Amino acid sequence: MEIDLIVLVPLVAILGALYYYITKDNKYFHDKPIPSMAAEPLFGSTRQLLTKKTSFHDFVISIYNKYPLVKVFGMIDTLTPMFVVRDPELIKRIGVKDFDYFVNHRPVFGNSEDTHNKALFGKTLIAIKDQRWRDMRATLSPAFTGSKMRHMFELIVECSTNMAKFYKSELGKKGGVPQEYEMKDVFTRFANDVIATCAFGIKVDSLNNPDNDFYTNGKKMMAFNRPIVMLRMIGFRVLPKLMNWLNEDLFDREQQQFFTEIIRDTVRTREAQGIVRPDMINLLMQARKGALKHQKEAEDREELKSFATVEESEVGRGQSGKGVQMDDLEMVAQCLIFFLAGFDTVSTCLTFLTHELTINRDVQDKLYEEILETSKSLAGGPLTYDAVHGMRYMDMVVSEGLRMWSPAPATDRLCVRDYVVDDGDRLKFTIDKGTVVFIPIAGLHHDPQYYPNPYKFDPERFNEENRDKINPNAYLPFGIGPRNCIGSRFALMEVKAILYYMMLEFSFERTPNTQVPLKLGKGFAGMRAEKGVFVELRPRE
């Protein structure tokens, strides 16, 4: 009996301490003048998501619609209190005007300030914080201006023409009979080849050589729904200090090592042989030396006509040319995050866009007419950077696709010092230092207050007459403020280029496997269709 008590008392004490730790913030919002979602131990307010009962996209829309009359409400994400901001004007204040209070993202995977931690994700532009982020953003920003994208565009066109030729050849082998394809697989291979050549400076052919090392390692790295990756995600949320102490990372060491060796070998070879190529590694090598200068805003005016393009803030322009000390691991990390964004985000955007063009034939036909006109104006020559930005209806279609199916359904900001919210009416409270602001992008994009009939795919929302009616703070496919997506120009020209070349050769047709309405795969992993997106490619006459 005495031995049992010796064991039982410490066990109860440990369990009590653990219970306190995982529930101590569950009543955090009770003394705030805002509503809050119910919270339960460990899950917080996110049980439906963590137990894969819903998709992240649908989860964001559902919580956004839960309190339709409020500007802000509270939610507990596992252990973290989060202020969910529904009001576009408050989002603008937080993301732009009062950015200095919210300069960082929520730390999720690895501590960027721990110099002993070799976790790559923690060293990416997304994860680093404070002045280090400002310096890195200013150093990298000139690499993503319109003039640099213009030089990279030829590489994208090469990948796009190769893809169109491949599927034309495949259908030719079958006597020109239309064939069904799963579009996520199709566009992931395309995005892989684009990122391989534009970011890593190597040529791979993921269509003719489907099991190439670059593609297979990329697929493994992006497999966020694996149990081990889910455990790491939970570990970083619940016990971040322990995960950092264990030197854990979101990605497997095998894939980290693969991409690290590619980049280091490429840099060594180029430095030794004086090789210059219009790709991201070359730009990072220049950035590390402080040799990149930010172009004048006037040069970007044509690109900014694209509705979805985000403009670089003064943070990105402020110190260009200064350079930042970037070790090999940090350089690898920036290439890696560029790869991840290109590999998954771009392919996701293209997959859902293709689905909408397939089931909205009037939109597809109108877009094809513009593509045909552009092709004729080029006299059969390759698509040019200026021509792609001259396709107004293409931009409307892509902008609407990003509204309906934003690859990033939400974003966040970490409050770095106490911030008082005062709307001048009856709402006044403090967002405390260390808490998180959650911006529900998918909710805003599907709010009929900003987008009438929001579940209808309607590119005319973005025509010259209607686009000025859209609240820019309620359209955030690439985020908002200085922490917006640095690669928006690259992503948009990549999406438009492959749509141009594929639609010149094929029409997109429904098959018995085309799911209407489309249902999303459940869980926190990246946005994907529950049963895939199946489309028939039919050669044009």
Cis peptide bond prior to 517, omega within 30° of 0? yes
Lowest-pLDDT range of 129-143, 212-226, 251-265, 391-405? 212-226
Q: What are phi and psi of 141, to 5 degrees?
A: -55, -45
Give pLDDT, residue 141.
84
Q: How far is Cα 338 from Cα 343, in angstroms, rounded to an integer?
A: 8
- Give the dihedral sign, CA 164/170/175/177: negative
Using the predicted structure, report yes or no on whether residue 295 has a pLDDT greater than 70. Answer: no
pLDDT tens per residue across span 414-432 = 999 999 998 877 889 999 9
Using the predicted structure, report yes or no on whether residue 127 has a pLDDT greater than 90. Answer: no
Degrees to nearest 5, angle at CA 507 with 454 and 340: 65
Token couple for 489 = 């120009």
Q: How far is Cα 294 from Cα 314, in angstroms, rounded to an integer?
A: 11
First to last CA, the chain: 87
Backbone dihedral region for residue 523 (phi beyond 0: left; psi -120 to 50: alpha; all else: beta): left
Task: Tell me what the pLDDT averaged over the chain comes to.
Answer: 85
Neighbouring C-beta atoms of residue 81, cutoff 10 Å: 23
Q: What CATH number is associated with residue 318? A: 1.10.630.10
pLDDT tens per residue across span 354-393 = 999 999 999 999 999 999 999 999 998 999 999 999 999 9
Give the DSSP letter of residue 510.
Answer: -
pLDDT tens per residue across span 304-351 = 567 888 877 777 665 544 556 777 788 888 887 787 777 788 999 999
Token couple for 158 = 């090469």
283 or 59, which is more confident: 59
Using the predicted structure, report yes or no on whether residue 76 has a pLDDT greater than 70. Answer: yes
Q: Once rounded to an integer, what is the mean pLDDT over residues 172-187? A: 91
Three-state DSSP class for 179?
strand
Q: Once rounded to an integer, what is the mean pLDDT over residues 275-289? A: 79
**Count of domains forming the chain:** 1
Range of the domain at 429: 5-539
Q: State the burial class of residue 289 (Cβ atoms within 10 Å of its Cβ: 0-12, 13-18, 19+).
A: exposed
Edge to edge, what strands does the sheet with 179-182 contain? 179-182, 534-539, 506-509
Q: How far is Cα 332 from Cα 124, in angstroms, rounded to an integer?
A: 9
Give pLDDT, residue 303.
53
Q: Once rounded to an integer, what is the mean pLDDT over residues 201-230? A: 77
Q: How far is Cα 343 from Cα 407, in angstroms, rounded to an integer?
A: 12
Most confident of 39-48, 341-350, 508-517: 508-517
Token couple for 316 = 């990105």
Q: Which residues are annotated as a binding site?
A: 485
Q: What is the DSSP string of 370-432?
A: HHHHHHHHTTT----HHHHHH-HHHHHHHHHHHHHT-SS--EEEE--S-EEEE-SSS-EEEE-
**What long-range pairs does 9-12 form, CB within 8 A, spacing at least 24?**
none
Q: Which residues are annotated as a binding site for heme?
A: 485
Calculate Rg over the CA atoms of the chain: 24
